[in-house]
Chain A
């Protein structure tokens, strides 16, 4: 066989194999962080090549309301209206999954996601308020100095250290004697709160053993404890547990109650990986106003530690401010997966939620399209494709058969492309796909008509085929590039569903050009080579 044909066949083979590889469902092992323990663990995720939309397979339905547990929200309707916009932007950036985001009644937000594989991640993205702020830690150790007073206040309130379990005797004698015994024991007992806190490496940093974290959290939330915390200081937990040796600890930071800057001044955020340390990080850029303020504050606080606080949790260990920082900064996420960094960048970019949201209802929902409509859609698609093939075969005979074979590869290529982009298939999408097959024959028709014209001019078969392909090319290229440019702009300018449509269109254009120009040409080359004496061509 001709070397040229062999190379072409090898290329086609490679493309087919790649396309099919994208279409095979497979299990992927990912290292993710366990949300409870904060440790890394391996989980197996099944990657489905082409996801089905809400209309074809259903998904989850989440109803969210404004969370007023952390303070009242004056106008919930307005908060929800603004939250709807933010959540929609976040989900649109999350991928082309054609979600539903709408307000129900006055103060409720509905989010529906098609067969969401990882509802926890989706919920995290929706619920995250993404309120970013920077605060200086308690450099003068005012909180540490106030600890004895806090312990005393707790003692007065009768709160005992729960580290020592009540003795068997006190249980036997019942409640009456308990108060008496407790009083005498508490007099020389160590401080309730201070016994649970260990001084960390930085000023204002404390660590708490992970298992005592809930206890400390409830202690510092008590009004009498809060009254004793020095003015101008607030307590914030670290975002995740850290393991030191065999035990895991959680950090507690005493920070300034005033933030030097908030996420409102943020205009850009991107996920990156540090090339040297391989750590995940989010780089951000501040607005001009934010940069000026940030520059002043960081210049004043050189040598101090600055806590990066997201939704009330301190991200990583507060770094030391080494020099003045202006417009560009970064948040280090340590060993967390890059996925988490890009999720964070995404929520920072999409904006902060005007109020925290809480999930009030979670349900699985069925497909909105009945089985009968799906079946009718598939039947119609098959009939339509069948008719197209029939026309090609009757009109162009043997050449038509080659085009039909190339069209089969078109289907494989475009499905592979859709799988590669993580496309969500809906019933209208299916109709669009059937229609694209009707349009994909266009390039073949252009070529075949051209070959016929060349034959009519009295050219030999071989020459007519060569010239036909050559002359049809400018029409094919120009018309397809124009359409591709249109699709590209729809993708860049459009939102959500328009973008999904543009991707389908682009993939269809490239797959059809590939199949008509390259694959059909290869088939013709083989055909002509096997029948070198051919004087008439079946076209």
Chain B
């Protein structure tokens, strides 16, 4: 049978410092850049200009959209308006001027230029052009952020109940890492933040938690199974054991997202790119952030868990019931105290 990573035995926790540096290099410049220049919000968030045109012949929305895209007016919305010779265009030249008098005039001029070049001057008339406010209320982002923070609290409670609070904290750290990294990614590629991109970020929150918990589930199981191993070894063992699943699930999902990015066209591309990155970083963080952070939290606040049924960490008292380690014992590596 086809089997990837059979008996894998990589020291994932050992290279966590390099991973931390990598994460910092990914996130920090992006966030600094974000603080300086902000994100490029789409017309749904900024508002823009609604332009109604009447054409001499039924040119079709495709021709108008092509004309606008060729002139650099990306993200414009074109639809027929009452008849097939009237069209409503929602566009904007830049995020800054959206909704203002100057921005509206600029946009009307830009649309004029684009249509003159493509349809020919005089074959259409601009009936009106007026500023329109954002389609989504300003409270949407705010509420989305509140929802994410609130969901962190609930996740923490659930994981404290099903696992232990340290696991919950580590899972949330990994998820927060992924959100920040994704926002940095959006900033690097200067992607337009539309509703769809917000949906992609929310999907990543779910995916990242999911992926982390699969590994933590194995850690929980191995902690019960191998009571003599320390947490360092247990974490490595658990990550290696779940590696085939991580690669397979991550692989199919990334493949799906990439297919959407390349075939599905302009509209879906930002969503697909953000998803692709999010899945990669979500998988990365489960291994290189969640697991080492769990170990760090355990070193910082060691102790028995609330139920006293299991203990994580190195201070496990000897118990006679411990079964022998598996065929490839991770105990072959002795952790150095500096790690």
Q: Which residue of B lies closest to A481 (CB)?
A: B158
**B244 interface hit (Cβ, 8 Å):** yes
Shortest distance between the CB of A201 and any CB in chain B (Å): 48
Known: A370-B65, A388-B252, A438-B257. A428 touches B196 (CB 8 A): yes
In-complex Cβ contact of B271 among A110, A373, A428 (8 A): A428
Name the A residues within 8 Å of B272 (CB-CB). 431
The total number of A-B Cβ pairs within 8 Å is: 232
Q: Which residue of A lies closest to B253 (CB)?
A: A438
Name the A residues within 8 Å of B65 (CB-CB). 370
Q: In the bound complex, what is the Cα–Cα distance between A453 and B202 (angstroms)? A: 33
Q: Which residue of B lies closest to A385 (CB)?
A: B256
Name the A residues within 8 Å of B202 (CB-CB). 490, 498, 501-502, 505
Decide if A494 touches B209 in the complex (CB within 8 Å): no
Decide if B79 touches A85 in the complex (CB within 8 Å): no
**B251 interface hit (Cβ, 8 Å):** yes
Known: A368-B77, A395-B248, A498-B147. A431 touches B271 (CB 8 A): yes
Name the A residues within 8 Å of B88 (CB-CB). 61, 365
**B95 interface hit (Cβ, 8 Å):** no
Shortest distance between the CB of B239 and any CB in chain A (Å): 14
Shortest distance between the CB of B102 and any CB in chain A (Å): 15
The stretch from B30-38, B128-136, B300-308, B310-318 touching chain A is B128-136
Known: A441-B249, A445-B249. A494 touches B80 (CB 8 A): no
In-complex Cβ contact of B256 among A61, A384, A442, A490 (8 A): A384
Q: In the bound complex, what is the Cα–Cα distance between A434 and B62 (angstroms)? A: 25
Decide if A495 touches B143 in the complex (CB within 8 Å): yes
Name the A residues within 8 Å of B139 (CB-CB). 495
**B8 interface hit (Cβ, 8 Å):** no
**B241 interface hit (Cβ, 8 Å):** yes
In-complex Cβ contact of B268 among A377, A383, A490 (8 A): A377
In-complex Cβ contact of B217 among A104, A439, A474, A497 (8 A): A474
In-complex Cβ contact of B213 among A385, A475, A487 (8 A): A475
Known: A380-B264, A435-B256. A58 touches B140 (CB 8 A): no
Decide if B82 touches A376 in the complex (CB within 8 Å): no
**B50 interface hit (Cβ, 8 Å):** yes
Q: In the bound complex, what is the Cα–Cα distance between A58 and B47 (angstroms)? A: 20
Residue-wise interface mask of B (164-207) relative to A, using a CB-CB cutoff of 8 A (1 in contact, 0 not): 00000001000000000000000000000001101100110111
**A482 interface hit (Cβ, 8 Å):** yes
Q: In the bound complex, what is the Cα–Cα distance between A370 and B145 (angstroms)? A: 33
Decide if A431 touches B260 in the complex (CB within 8 Å): yes
Residue-wise interface mask of A (366-407) relative to B, using a CB-CB cutoff of 8 A (1 in contact, 0 not): 111110110011011101110110011011010000000000
Known: A365-B79, A475-B217. A435 touches B1 (CB 8 A): no
Residue-wise interface mask of B (34-75) relative to A, using a CB-CB cutoff of 8 A (1 in contact, 0 not): 000000000000010010000000000110010000000000
Known: A102-B134, A490-B202. A485 touches B256 (CB 8 A): no
Q: Which residue of A lies closest to B77 (CB)?
A: A368
**A122 interface hit (Cβ, 8 Å):** no
Decide if B253 touches A439 in the complex (CB within 8 Å): yes
Decide if A485 touches B155 in the complex (CB within 8 Å): yes
**A454 interface hit (Cβ, 8 Å):** no
Decide if A489 touches B154 in the complex (CB within 8 Å): yes
Decide if A435 touches B135 in the complex (CB within 8 Å): no
Decide if B210 touches A483 in the complex (CB within 8 Å): yes
Name the B residues within 8 Å of A494 (CB-CB). 140, 143-144, 147
Q: In the bound complex, what is the Cα–Cα distance between A397 and B134 (angstroms)? A: 51
Known: A368-B78, A490-B151. A383 touches B259 (CB 8 A): yes
Q: Which residues 450-502 of A sit at the B interface, judged by CB distance below 8 A?
A: 452-453, 471, 474-475, 478-483, 485-487, 489-490, 492-498, 501-502
Shortest distance between the CB of A144 and any CB in chain B (Å): 50
Tell me the dominant secondary structure on chain A's binding face: helix
In-complex Cβ contact of B249 among A377, A383, A442 (8 A): A442
Q: In the bound complex, what is the Cα–Cα distance between A205 and B20 (angstroms)? A: 79
Name the B residues within 8 Å of A445 (CB-CB). 245, 248-249
Name the B residues within 8 Å of A7 (CB-CB). none
**B3 interface hit (Cβ, 8 Å):** yes
Q: Which residues 314-372 of A sit at the B interface, judged by CB distance below 8 A?
A: 363-370, 372
Decide if A427 touches B135 in the complex (CB within 8 Å): no
Shortest distance between the CB of A284 and any CB in chain B (Å): 25
**B265 interface hit (Cβ, 8 Å):** yes
Q: In the bound complex, what is the Cα–Cα distance between A490 and B221 (angstroms)? A: 31
Name the A residues within 8 Å of B309 (CB-CB). none
**B275 interface hit (Cβ, 8 Å):** yes
Decide if B251 touches A391 in the complex (CB within 8 Å): yes
Decide if A490 touches B147 in the complex (CB within 8 Å): yes
In-complex Cβ contact of A372 among B62, B147, B263 (8 A): B62
Name the B residues within 8 Å of A490 (CB-CB). 144, 147-148, 151, 202
In-complex Cβ contact of A427 among B132, B217, B252, B268 (8 A): B268
Decide if A453 touches B241 in the complex (CB within 8 Å): yes
**A103 interface hit (Cβ, 8 Å):** yes
Q: In the bound complex, what is the Cα–Cα distance between A363 and B188 (angstroms)? A: 41
Name the A residues within 8 Å of B116 (CB-CB). none
Q: Which residue of A lies closest to B152 (CB)?
A: A486
Q: Which residue of B lies closest to A88 (CB)?
A: B137
Name the B residues within 8 Å of A85 (CB-CB). 137
In-complex Cβ contact of B210 among A102, A388, A441, A480 (8 A): A480
**B255 interface hit (Cβ, 8 Å):** yes
**B162 interface hit (Cβ, 8 Å):** yes
Q: Which residue of B lies closest to A89 (CB)?
A: B137
**B331 interface hit (Cβ, 8 Å):** no
Known: A365-B79, A435-B253. A498 touches B268 (CB 8 A): no
Q: In the bound complex, what is the Cα–Cα distance between A229 and B248 (angstroms)? A: 82
Q: Which residue of B lies closest to A58 (CB)?
A: B79
Shortest distance between the CB of A234 and any CB in chain B (Å): 37
Known: A377-B264, A490-B147. A395 touches B2 (CB 8 A): yes
Known: A380-B268, A495-B137. A475 touches B132 (CB 8 A): no
Decide if A376 touches B263 in the complex (CB within 8 Å): yes
Name the B residues within 8 Å of A365 (CB-CB). 79-82, 88
Name the B residues within 8 Å of A434 (CB-CB). 256, 260
Q: In the bound complex, what is the Cα–Cα distance between A474 and B217 (angstroms)? A: 7
**A174 interface hit (Cβ, 8 Å):** no
Residue-wise interface mask of A (122-161) relative to B, using a CB-CB cutoff of 8 A (1 in contact, 0 not): 0000000000000000000000000000000000000000
**B16 interface hit (Cβ, 8 Å):** no
In-complex Cβ contact of B81 among A84, A108, A363, A428 (8 A): A363
Decide if B260 touches A384 in the complex (CB within 8 Å): yes
**A105 interface hit (Cβ, 8 Å):** yes
Q: Which residue of A lies closest to B48 (CB)?
A: A102
In-complex Cβ contact of A441 among B134, B195, B252 (8 A): B252
Which residue, A103, A108, A394, A478, has most C-beta atoms of chain B within 10 A?
A: A478
Decide if A366 touches B130 in the complex (CB within 8 Å): no
Name the A residues within 8 Å of B15 (CB-CB). none
Name the B residues within 8 Å of A103 (CB-CB). 132-133
Decide if B264 touches A58 in the complex (CB within 8 Å): no
- The contact sample of 18 A-B pairs, CB cut-off 8 A, is A365-B88, A368-B78, A377-B264, A380-B262, A387-B255, A388-B255, A395-B2, A428-B271, A438-B256, A442-B245, A449-B245, A471-B221, A483-B207, A485-B158, A486-B206, A490-B202, A495-B140, A498-B199
Q: Identify the A interface with B (CB < 8 A).
A: 58, 61, 84-85, 88, 100-105, 108, 110, 363-370, 372-373, 376-377, 379-381, 383-385, 387-388, 391-392, 394-395, 397, 427-428, 431-432, 434-435, 437-439, 441-442, 445-446, 449, 452-453, 471, 474-475, 478-483, 485-487, 489-490, 492-498, 501-502, 505, 539
Given contacts A368-B61, A376-B263, 17 further A-B contacts (CB under 8 A): A61-B81, A101-B135, A380-B264, A388-B252, A388-B256, A428-B267, A434-B256, A434-B260, A483-B206, A483-B209, A486-B205, A493-B143, A494-B147, A496-B136, A496-B140, A498-B140, A498-B144
* Complex A-B, nearest 4 residue pairs according to Cβ-Cβ distance, in ascending order: A366-B80, A438-B256, A380-B264, A380-B263
